Structure 1
Amino acid sequence: LNNHPDFAEIIKGCWSGLNFEGSRQLVISKKLKELKNIIRTFSNENFSNLELRVAEAFDNLISCQQVSLNSPSPAAAAAEEVAHRKWSTLAKAEDSFLCQRSRIQWTSEGDANTAFYHRAIKSRRDQNQIDLLIDEDGSVIHSLDAIKDHVVSYFKNLLGGVVTPTTSSP
């Protein structure tokens, strides 16, 4: 989803267009709940039946390339470029989906406690660890306790008070 060219704009537009009243935590919770439906719809429209859509996009690309080879023209080149972009986007999405699926299966089934399995788990743990944070002032925070304190403080400030929505007139 992240790699889709329209995804970030849809999320930004939706997020800024939602106005709820209540504490910051409640507002964020309601926005996330609403955003979930929008993301689900977007995903279904753009990435459902991925394997079939990739195959169709590839066939369309081959067809456009044949037209470009047989009778070159700016219109044929533009059609080929559009077909290539669509196929590339769908192929990347399919690759990402398959990678995530294989990771889930591999992690759930394990690898019989081999050294390779334990190295892979350690590598993932190291990759997901926060070693340092840079705060709003640009200061680097290295200590684990200081990182914890900063994160707690940040989210208390973020989710703390009551927010009333602002309405903007067009």
Structure 2
Amino acid sequence: MTVDSDPSLVPVSVVTGDPSAVLPEGPVVTLPDPLLPLIPPPSLSPLITPSVASLNDDVVYAGNTVEERNDLLIELIEIQASLSLESNPWLLRGDFNEITHPEEHSSPAASQISCPMIEFNTCLNQLEVCDLRYHGEKFTWSNKQPDIPIAKKLDRALINEHWLNTYPRSLAKFLAPEFSDHTPCCIELDCPTPLAGSKPFKFFNYLTLHPDFLTLVEEAWTCTENENHSLSLLSVKQKELKRVLKQLNKDNFSDIQKRVLEANSLFTDAHVLSLRQPTSDHFATEKELHEKLLFLKKVEEEYYKQLSRINWLKCGDSNTSYFHKVAKARKAFNAIIILISTTGIEATSPQDIGNLAVAHFLSILGPPTPQTTPVMIDSVAGMIRTNRFSCSPEQAQVSLGCLPLKT
């Protein structure tokens, strides 16, 4: 379906897997906000004009049986192919009546991956969609039976890569259920991301590939040498090393994607020139540019591996679109924009988010100063009075005591 910038015109397609199915009363409700216009995405999508913003929004209501859900999955694949949704922003949301992993089931007995889960995940991979980042409760449905309480994540908002490119700051909010056993889902197209200030230093593994890496590290570490071996000296060394590594990354690997494209263009031109004029100089230039291109591609591969945190990818997967999709999806999904305290208060600013995180871990790790008891104090005082656990002042006795420890 197409959504125009006028919020009063919001047609929605409801996919059930059965064209003749009659939906029960009130299973799916789609309500646009009449007070807020649809925010044009910040990217330069070909679908965006100065007055109209377009997107595809399908609402799913899956059946209770495996057969009905399989029909739904087949229909979703057909809809994607017929409407060319793989090349347009696509939002797929609703009740899928299936989970993707046992962790999305509240019962400890549901610890095995079932065949319906595998089929559901296979369909999502074929559609190339993933969960839109969200906040709210983990489970979206409950059976409301006190005797056998069960909760699952049956409702989800799925997006494709083009949606993520067009609406990078979109967010799904799963709110508290009122009259339904499902949680309502609110989609925000432009959720502001809090400014976190300067980014912390991150060591990229590809820096070790640079031929001057070890030399620069050694020089940065030894240039601050002195006789003081305190922790302050260690801090000075680390700061100097961080400065050197940041400069190394900036001078040689910044905007690595652009560097790879430029190196590939230079290599292509050199290759054509060497075929047109096969001289020693042209062959040498082509070889040099080819080695540089391979090196930069290796750096780009290491960058995306570390960014997407997928360490099991083989070399055959390097520099493919899969790297970009996984890295982009993880970065968007893992962004922290809201934290909710135990009292239900939302923290949205970087300062409030930081304070809430610190308070949470303080409650886990305990108070800053450990509690002492009179028994503990008396025990330590007794050890001090009797000189227990104190070393002998004689060096010979210390040496004799250490000799049996040698192997």
Matched residues, number: 108
Give the match for residue 233 of structure 2. Answer: 27
AA in 2 matched with 1:75: D
Highest Rg: 1 or 2? Answer: 2
Q: Which moved more, 1:83-92 or 1:25-34?
A: 25-34
How far apart are the structure 2 equivalents of 1:13 and 1:72?
43
Which of 211, 215, 226 aligns to 1:5? It is: 211
Q: Which moved more, 1:36-45 or 1:9-18?
A: 9-18
Q: Report the TM-score, using the length of structure 2 for normalisation.
A: 0.25
Q: For 1:47-69, what per-residue CA distance to the aligned partner results, in whole angstroms no more than 9, with x for missing partners?
A: 11111110000010111111111
SS in 2 for 1:23: coil
Q: Which moved more, 1:53-62 or 1:68-77?
A: 68-77
The structure whose RCO (Cα within 8 Å, separation 6+) is larger is 1
AA in 1 matched with 2:214: A
SS in 1 for 2:211: coil
- Runs (4 or more) in structure 1 with deviation over 6 Å come to none
- Aligned-residue CA RMSD in angstroms? 2.1
Which of 276, 280, 291 aligns to 1:74? It is: 280
Which of 16, 26, 44 aligns to 2:222? It is: 16
Higher helix share: 1
SS in 2 for 1:2: helix
How far apart are the structure 2 equivalents of 1:34 and 1:21?
18
1:15 CA displacement? 2.4
Structure 1 unaligned blocks of 5 or more:
110-170
Which of 234, 237, 261 aligns to 1:55? It is: 261
Q: What are the equivalent positions in structure 2 for 1:97-136 lying under 5 Å apart?
A: 97-103=303-309, 105=330
SS in 2 for 1:22: coil
AA in 1 matched with 2:273: V
Contact 1:4–1:89 at 8 Å: present in 2 too? no
How far apart are the structure 2 equivalents of 1:34 and 1:62?
40
How far apart are the structure 2 equivalents of 1:86 and 1:22?
43
1:75 CA displacement? 0.9
How far apart are the structure 1 equivalents of 2:215 and 2:278?
35
Contact 1:18–1:31 at 8 Å: present in 2 too? yes
AA in 2 matched with 1:2: T
Q: Report the TM-score, using the length of structure 1 for normalisation.
A: 0.57
SS in 1 for 2:209: coil
1:20 CA displacement? 3.9
How far apart are the structure 1 equivalents of 2:251 and 2:264?
19
Q: For 1:125-148, what per-residue CA distance to the aligned partner results, in whole angstroms no more than 9, with x for missing partners?
A: xxxxxxxxxxxxxxxxxxxxxxxx
How far apart are the structure 2 equivalents of 1:81 and 1:24?
50
1:76 CA displacement? 0.8
Which of 89, 112, 137 aligns to 2:295? It is: 89
SS in 1 for 2:240: helix
Question: Kindly tell me: are residues 38 and 71 of structure 1, through their superposed partners in 2, closer, same or farther at Cα, counting changes over 3 Å?
Answer: same
Contact 1:21–1:27 at 8 Å: present in 2 too? no
Q: What are the equivalent positions in structure 2 for 1:146-161 lying under 5 Å apart?
A: none
How far apart are the structure 2 equivalents of 1:14 and 1:69?
45
Contact 1:57–1:83 at 8 Å: present in 2 too? yes
Q: For 1:82-138, what per-residue CA distance to the aligned partner results, in whole angstroms no more than 9, with x for missing partners?
A: 2112111111111111111111839x76xxxxxxxxxxxxxxxxxxxxxxxxxxxxx
1:24 CA displacement? 5.2
Q: Which moved more, 1:76-85 or 1:36-45?
A: 76-85
AA in 1 matched with 2:270: C
SS in 1 for 2:225: coil
AA in 2 matched with 1:82: E
Q: For 1:32-52, what per-residue CA distance to the aligned partner results, in whole angstroms no more than 9, with x for missing partners?
A: 210100100110111111111
1:28 CA displacement? 3.0
Q: Which moved more, 1:90-99 or 1:1-10?
A: 1-10
* Identical counterparts, % of pairs: 31
